[in-house]
Amino acid sequence: MQIQQAGYDVIGDIHGEADLLEGLLNKMGYANNGKCWRHRNRQALFVGDLIDRGPQQLRTVQIVQAMVVNGAAKIVMGNHELNALAYVTKDPATPDKFLRPHTEHSRRQHEVFLNAVSYGSQLHQDVMAWFRTIPLWFDADGLRVVHACWDSPSIELLKKSIGDSAMLTPDLVAAKAGSDEHGALATVLKGPEIEISPPFLYPEGRRSITSRFAWWSATPTQLSSAALLPAGARLEDGTPYPALGDDKVTPPVEPYSDSVPVLFGHYWRRGTPATLTPQLACVDFVTNNRALVAYRWQGEATLGNGAFVSYGDKQ
């Protein structure tokens, strides 16, 4: 067995797959000591998006929270945790409304979680209280971790209002769409987006005029390498969305140029886990079968493909 030096095991978006999480932790040499899963000389570092989608969301939260509270793990916030907080937070400007409107779409996206905790219960409030303690990014020991995008101007802007602790504040949760703070928070947790024409439909039918942007792309001004359409995207007439051409796009963020490596989740990457650049790697992968991916970081400034580990994939 490979000897692991001290460092961080950066674990991708779990989305309620608690069985996969425990399998991955076990595979990486973590053991459950009755209080939490723990490694003798390493820490787990979760990229967020613990909830929504999968079947074991409450158990996922409980496993991760126990690890964080007992010092066996760290975590950064995902857009699904932010959404969960906005879903229960009244808009200070219009107190009869929630910051995340309770639309059919937002309710459906969140309903497995809401059913698991029972909406409005003490348990629900306790989980939200813990979510409020999750920092927006990690930047220490020669490593950076963020849910979606390490955009230095956005992070510097957020630091001006919330400081280096990277903790969400009530004012930041309530920042209005169109404000600099709202844009910076969206860039960091949801990733930058670009306009796309014609619009596309997600597999479930929702229409969108913006697409995710491959902020790590070496050719960010070519539509084909810059736009990330979801699998199964269609045109409004129902036909498959055509292949993207080499139309020029204006990158919404500057390329990442620092020497500190960045690990992130969010992007549903396909295929065998691999780095994107020597400084950038995503740990959120969708494979043929359900799988959870981690990057076992041991202090290196240059990321390498040998550090990925996955569990649950039958390839």
* Candidate list 60, 79, 154, 211; residue touching Mn ion; CB under 5 A: 79
Q: Scanning residues 147 to 176, which ones bind Mn ion (CB under 5 A)?
A: none
Pick the stretch among 47-55, 89-97, 113-121, 307-315 that binds Mn ion (CB under 5 A). 47-55
Pick the stretch among 21-29, 65-73, 79-87, 201-209 that binds Mn ion (CB under 5 A). 79-87
Pick the stretch among 76-84, 168-176, 223-231, 291-299 that binds Mn ion (CB under 5 A). 76-84
Q: Scanning residues 247 to 266, which ones bind Mn ion (CB under 5 A)?
A: 266
Rank residues 72 and 127 by Cβ distance to Mn ion and give the closer one.
127
SS3 track for the chain: CCCCCCEEEEECCCCCCHHHHHHHHHHCCCEECCCCEECCCEEEEECCCCCCCCCCHHHHHHHHHHHHHCCCEEECCCHHHHHHHHHHCEECCEEEEECCCCCHHHHHHHHHHHHHHCCCCHHHHHHHHHHCCCECEEEECCEEEECCCCCHHHHHHHHHHHCCCCECCHHHHCCCCCCHHHHHHHHHHHCCEEEEEEEEECCCCCEEEEEEECCCCCCCCEHHHHEECCCCCECCCCCECCCCCCCECCCCCCCCCCCCCEEECCCCEECCCCCCECCEEECCEECCCCCEEEEEECCCCCCCHHHEEEECCCC
Q: Is 110 one of the binding residues for Mn ion (CB under 5 A)?
A: no
Q: How far is the CB of 109 from Mn ion (least distance, A)?
A: 12
Q: Is 49 one of the binding residues for Mn ion (CB under 5 A)?
A: yes
Rank residues 14 and 36 by Cβ distance to Mn ion and give the closer one.
14
Rank residues 28 and 188 by Cβ distance to Mn ion and give the closer one.
188
Q: How far is the CB of 97 from Mn ion (least distance, A)?
A: 24
Pick the stretch among 42-50, 149-157, 164-172, 209-217 that binds Mn ion (CB under 5 A). 42-50
Q: Scanning residues 266 to 305, which ones bind Mn ion (CB under 5 A)?
A: 266
Query: Which residues in this chain contact Mn ion in the complex, by CB under 5 A?
Result: 49, 78-79, 266
